[in-house]
Structure 1
């Protein structure tokens, strides 16, 4: 199997696993994992916007202003993936980040020239936020596209290797045409 096919298969498996664990966000109230996914989605959306709309300086200012908060959210996201995927956490996390950037880039391409008109204003909006609480609330309220649904009330315990392999094989069979 080629590298690209393995990457796609792994991404589909992660998305399926995440969507199979879906919960409505409101069912569990505040969740550090949900906030971490929201903030990561916002950060990625701003990065795609910066790269697509020549606004790298504005993105860098955002990162600098919220560096401690972004670092804390990244730690929460790492904990979620470690608790959920065990030894496969880094691969699952990498696949999520790749898929997140891909779906957001695709959305930008579909919007065409309107994308920059619609999204650059987000830099103005985040520039007036004060702290992590504001950032988390803003990220939750925005229409940020995610590549999959995920359970964020509490990370499930990591699946054993044999369960993951069975699930991945089942996903592979269901996606063959």
Structure 2
């Protein structure tokens, strides 16, 4: 079994490369028209992290780890998914579902492009997130998704100060 320390330095270097905006870093469909509440931002952040891990599962043979992540955090993922649906319905009204589908597709496409461009570095990056997730208690889930590179992916900011 691979150990987290094996990837530590490489993951940091890759995370920096992944986090650095290249062209249009934020998903085009998610250009903020309004700021969001902290709970809505958590839902957006959750979707970004889950998408990055999904692409890691597909691109890096990390399917078992992804399934473990989803199993470990299923209640949190479901709750945040509901908040995300509500957010897109609030912002886009009747087009909320279509806009949410477009948003999720764009996140996946962007992550897939990074995976292809960075190659094994992307795998190191997602391994590091998986290891952190496996060390995170379900009640600490918001801390897991609190990463500085995540809001860049969805393009929304919080209206709230804390």
- Please give the range of the TM-score, normalised by the shorter of the 2 chains: 0.7 to 0.9
Kindly indicate whether the alpha-carbon contact (under 8 Å) linking 1:100 and 1:146 is maintained by their aligned counterparts in 2. Answer: no
**Structure 2 CA distance for aligned equivalents of residues 75 and 20 of structure 1:** 19
Unaligned segments of structure 1, at least 5 residues: 1-13, 155-177
Q: For 2:33, which of 11, 17, 21 is the aligned residue?
A: 21
2:128 aligned with 1:121: yes
| 3-state DSSP of counterpart to 1:140 | coil
After superposition, what is the alpha-carbon deviation per residue over 1:124-165, rounded to whole angstroms, capped at 9, x for unaligned? 110111124x222221225337554125438xxxxxxxxxxx
After superposition, what is the alpha-carbon deviation per residue over 1:45-98, rounded to whole angstroms, capped at 9, x for unaligned? 111011111010110011011101100000000000111111000000000000
State the match for 2:114 in structure 1: 107
**Structure 1 CA distance for aligned equivalents of residues 152 and 94 of structure 2:** 24
Kindly indicate whether the alpha-carbon contact (under 8 Å) linking 2:45 and 2:145 is maintained by their aligned counterparts in 1. Answer: yes
Unaligned segments of structure 2, at least 5 residues: 1-26
Kindly indicate whether the alpha-carbon contact (under 8 Å) linking 1:81 and 1:89 is maintained by their aligned counterparts in 2. Answer: yes
**Structure 2 CA distance for aligned equivalents of residues 60 and 31 of structure 1:** 27
**Structure 2 CA distance for aligned equivalents of residues 152 and 94 of structure 1:** 22
State the match for 1:138 in structure 2: 144
Q: TM-score, normalised by structure 1?
A: 0.67
Shift of 1:19: 2.0
| 3-state DSSP of counterpart to 2:31 | helix
2:49 aligned with 1:42: yes
Kindly indicate whether the alpha-carbon contact (under 8 Å) linking 1:81 and 1:92 is maintained by their aligned counterparts in 2. Answer: yes
How many residues in Structure 1 have an aligned counterpart in Structure 2? 134
Q: TM-score, normalised by structure 2?
A: 0.73
2:81 aligned with 1:95: no
Q: Which of 106-115 and 144-153 deviates more?
A: 144-153
